[in-house]
A = this chain, B = another copy of it.
């Protein structure tokens, strides 16, 4: 605990949670670990609970959100809970006509193409996500010292769903709008940044101890495009959050790490393609005036299929490489894959926590 400041230490047990110590650039008593998508499809108790309930209904049922969020904490001894939700939840809550179709993903009734479409995107009001507020209240009672991470999808990733009308491999309509009509693009991302910022503000006010901004598809962009068309909007979202650490994550973002930090991240999520020590070096070279960076990552989720000896080697390597950072939160380089054996997740947590 020696690395955290006196003020943080005075904040009591919550500030001493390993995840929060690492997020602030300190050396906690053990390497904190949680796994993106730890709450969800890989757990039989989750699949049983979800039977007969549509995804977006589950996300708006406080008891169900609480239970699903707690399941991996009980089972795996992870160092954080991640709020069970979906990146389209605030859009749906605000009134955008969309649904999550099993096997497909989000499907948007009226994809965005015109100025009128953009103007028709509603604002998000706190009362529309009251079930999420209630779930956070329930969770903070159950979680004790384990911090709850709130989350939202970043404006670019939300825009891709809205413009393509659903999940997209190549994001061609999104990029066509971005390059073909930059004014409309920025208007769209401005609206989405408002929704995302409000959703995160509500979560922080309700008591989450950290937030993660998921820009899942940002890795589809070059750094140039990211900086011109995305960074200003994600910056606005992240700069509105105070008092809790902000984690910023995307997949395939090796070229974007410095820009994603610049957006206002306290912790930069790194996928498995870039070793953590290389990521730290890249972040330091890009911003030598900033404090030493804090990173989160970066086990390839496929390694949870490779057997214990391989998993053990990879966990040890990643912990070693993570020492290059001021703080390291262990995680996957992407979310838990649906067919993952939950026992391998538990095993991975044990390996991360093991000393030496």
Contact = CB atoms under 8 A, between A and B. Distances in A.
B254 A302 contact: no
A219 B337 CA distance: 18
A170 B337 contact: yes
Contacts of A252: 219, 252, 273
Contacts of A171: 302
Interface stretch (A150-158, A174-182, A193-201, A348-356): A174-182
B224 A314 contact: no
A179 B301 contact: no
A179 B300 CA distance: 11
Given A172-B305, A172-B337, A305-B173, A273 B179 contact: no
Given A255-B254, A301-B170, A337-B170, A222 B275 contact: yes
How many A residues touch the partner, as a band? Answer: 35 or more
Nearest to A173: B305
A219 to B, nearest CB: 8
A159 to B, nearest CB: 14
A306 B309 CA distance: 49
A144 interface: no
A54 interface: no
Q: How many copies does the complex hold?
A: 2
**Most chain B CB within a 10 A radius of its CB, from A174, A176, A179, A309:** A179
A339 interface: yes
Contacts of A170: 301-302, 334, 337
A2 B222 CA distance: 35
A310 interface: yes
A272 interface: yes
Interface string A141-175: 00000000000000000000000000000111111
A274 interface: yes
Given A170-B337, A337-B170, A339-B172, A314 B222 contact: no
Interface in A279-337: 300-303, 305-307, 309-310, 314, 334, 337
A221 interface: yes
Nearest to A308: B180
Contacts of A310: 179-180
Interface string A237-252: 0000000000000001
Nearest to A178: B306
Given A180-B310, A222-B273, A301 B255 contact: no
B176 A221 contact: no
Contact of A301 (B172, B224, B272, B274): B172
15 contacts: A170-B301, A172-B301, A172-B305, A172-B339, A173-B305, A175-B300, A175-B306, A176-B302, A176-B306, A176-B307, A179-B306, A180-B305, A180-B309, A219-B273, A254-B255
3 closest cross-chain pairs (CB), A and B: A176-B305, A175-B302, A179-B310
Interface of A: 170-176, 178-180, 219, 221-224, 252, 254-255, 272-275, 300-303, 305-307, 309-310, 314, 334, 337, 339
Given A170-B334, A221-B273, A224-B275, 6 more contacts: A175-B305, A176-B306, A179-B306, A180-B309, A252-B273, A255-B273
